[in-house]
Amino acid sequence: MTIFIPTPLRSYTAEKARVQANGATLAHLLQDMNSRYPGIRFRMIDEQGQIRPHIKIFVNQEQVRDLSIALTNSDDVLIVCALSGG
Amino acid sequence: MQGKGTQLLIGTRKGGFMLKSDNTRRKWVLSKPILLGNIVHHMVLDPRDGKTIIMAARTGHLGPTIFRSFDHGKTWKEVEKPPAFRKAAEGEKGLVVDHVFWLTPGHASEKKVWYAGTSPQGLFRSEDSGMTWESVNGFNENPMRRKWTGGEQDQTPDGPKMHSILVDPRDPNHLYIGMSSGGVFESKDRGASWNPLNRGCAADFLPDPNVEFGHDPHCVRLHPQMPDRLYQQNHCGIYRMERGEGTWIRIGNAMPRKVGDIGFPLVLHPRNPNMVWVFPMDGTTVWPRTSPDGKPAVYRTSNAGKTWNRQNKGLPEKDALWTVKRQAMTADDRNPVGIYFGTTSGEIWGTRDEGESWRCIARHLPHIYSIEAAVTAS
């Protein structure tokens, strides 16, 4: 499926804004992304398996917080770096 | 570094920088920002090989990580496994590394070992030059950790810190750590077990001033030529401990009353264990922690804290409300020694005559967190 990558994470994807990865759940998708782009998962997901505070993940424009959510190949996954300034 | 100029590694809230001097230390050249926009807490040269630099970084959005350079800072690459706490068991609240705060190269005999201190307080060790990091479970999983470090209400405003990781140059198994909050702790078995080392140190913010732990050391230093002597700039003053005596002595009592002995950094002379520099800040009323009366000055002792001399020639004489953080003051290894400090307002000041005179060597930088002189093992 297609995943939109925000600018702070594009150093991992050779500056690509959209990448392809697979997974039956969001957790599996993030694992697959990490195998393709090593290190990217830990910048988004902490060691307790939680989405980090300023990262938001949307599946088909619905924000998700649970990594066990099921995905299909036609889903659009959007990763956003939320407000964090100063 | 003799005859080669001095190089400063600077961590700021918006990236890393390198500031290099010529041999005279009169001319300084600032690098382009390294990883612009990253929050760089610490950047340290490996004194054992003189070329590896390790950097602790995160951004406002992304989790904490570590970058390495093997070419004196020209190129950087993220490590494979940054410090992270153990994943908690079901129903247990696990710890999360917010940022890597402190980096210390390991013992000279352990060429690939590094230590990292995190916020919240955690200790991690790498045995492969920083590529992968493992929890030092003797601390992180210690049943006493929660009591040693306190609860969330006991922490410093920008997060609890583990800092001042010190390795005894005589014994790689002998370690010290400082924690804000928590106090100074010692391990004699490479981190497998720890004991508090706070006797004699004030904890004015606690009801019992003689507690065993819970103190707030800001910066602890061990002199490599006299490893049984420790100094610390504490939340509650400046202290020295001779390990044979086992008690912290408040050497800050000899500071001028109007200036006080509150501050963050403390810097040692590389060859003279009796010579120390501090940067006092205002610890009265609501603790502004800016230069007292707006008149910044460095204070130096040449006799291990019996007396202190004010060193402010060249520094602003008024209206300079500076704050210098605990990692933002350092010494080079030249003769005479150069001392350098960076302010949260983005200026770096230096002396090439051991504090007798100062001048600004860089300005307009972001909020400075740390400065390390790139000192190589002799």
What is the amino acid identity at position B229? R
Side-chain-facing half-sphere of B3: CA atoms under 13 Å: 0
Residue A30 in any domain: the answer is yes
Q: Could B96 and A50 be called an inter-chain contact, meaning their C-beta atoms sit closer than 8 Å?
A: yes
pLDDT computed for residue B374 by the predictor: 87
Q: Provide the CA B70 distance to its chain's centre, in angstroms.
A: 23
Q: Which residues are registered as beta bridge partners of A78?
A: A4, A58
- The C-alpha atoms of residue B14 and residue B210 are separated, in whole angstroms, by 40
Token pair recorded at residue A1: 């499926």
Q: Is the pLDDT of residue B184 over 50?
A: yes
B15 occurs within a structural domain: no
pLDDT-based confidence at residue B231 (cuts at 50, 70, 90): very high
| Whole-number average pLDDT of chain B | 95
Q: What is the mean pLDDT of residues B58-82?
A: 96
Chain B residues whose beta carbon lies within 8 Å of the beta carbon of residue A56: none
- pLDDT value, residue B297: 98
pTM for this structure? Answer: 0.96
Query: Hey, is the C-beta of B63 within 8 angstroms of any chain A C-beta?
Result: yes
Determine, yes or no, domain membership for A29: yes
Q: In terms of residue numbers, what domain contains A37?
A: 2-81
Mean pLDDT, chain A, as a whole number?
95
| Residue of B229, B71, B213 lying closest to B149 (CA atoms) | B213
CB atoms A9 and B86 under 8 Å: no
Residue B33 lies in a domain: no
Q: What is the pLDDT of residue B1?
A: 40
Count other C-beta atoms under 10 Å from residue B275's C-beta: 20
Q: Any residues with CB less than 8 A from the CB of B142 and at least 6 apart, and which?
A: B148, B193, B194
What percent of chain B is predicted at pLDDT more than 90? Answer: 91
Residues of B whose CB is below 8 A from A43: 62-63, 65
What is residue B378's predicted lDDT score, i.e. its pLDDT? 43
For chain A, say whether B75 makes contact (Cβ under 8 Å).
Answer: no
Q: For chain A, what is the total number of helices (H) and then of strands (E)?
A: 2, 5
Give ipTM to 2 decimals: 0.94
- Please tell me which of the candidates B62, B85, B97 has its beta carbon nearest to residue A8: B62
Residue of B35, B38, B62 best to disrupt the A interface, most CBs of A under 10 A: B62
> Beta strands of chain A (E only): which ranges?
2-4, 18-20, 55-59, 62-64, 76-81
Numbered residues of chain A with Cβ closer than 8 Å to any chain B Cβ:
6, 8-9, 38-39, 42-50, 52, 54-55, 81-82, 84-86
Helix, strand and coil in chain A, % to nearest 5: 20, 30, 50
Which residues on chain A are in Cβ contact (under 8 Å) with B85?
A: 47-48
pLDDT at B204: 87
pLDDT digits (tens, 9 = 90+) for B85-126: 999 999 999 999 999 999 999 999 999 999 999 999 999 999
Number of domains in chain A: 1
Return d(Cα B97, Cα B85) in angstroms, integer: 7
In a domain, residue A86? The reply is no
CB contacts, 8 Å: B63 with chain A: 42-46, 52
Residue B3: band (very low, low, confident or very high) from pLDDT cuts 50, 70, 90 = low
Asked whether the predicted pLDDT for residue A69 surpasses 90, the reply is yes
Say which CATH number the domain at A46 has.
3.10.20.30
Domain that holds residue B165: 46-83+96-329
How many structural domains compose chain B?
1
Determine, for residues B60 and A54 on separate chains, whether the beta-carbon distance falls below 8 Å.
Answer: yes
Which CATH number do you get for residue B180?
2.130.10.10
Q: Is B36 on the interface with A (CB under 8 A)?
A: no
Model pLDDT, residue A6: 96
Has residue B166 been placed in a domain? yes
Q: Is B94 on the interface with A (CB under 8 A)?
A: yes
Which residues of chain A have a CB within 8 Å of the CB of B80? Answer: 38-39
In a domain, B176, yes or no: yes
**Mutate which of A46, A50, A67, A80 to test chain B, going by most B C-beta atoms within 10 A?**
A46
Residue B159: inside a domain: yes
A84 has a pLDDT exceeding 90: no
CA angle B239, B99, B232 (to 5 degrees): 5
For residue B154, name the pLDDT band (cuts at 50, 70, 90): low
Asked if residue A15 is part of any domain, the answer here is yes
Using the predicted structure, report yes or no on whether residue B84 has a pLDDT greater than 50.
yes
* A40-64 pLDDT per residue, tens: 999 999 999 999 999 999 999 999 9
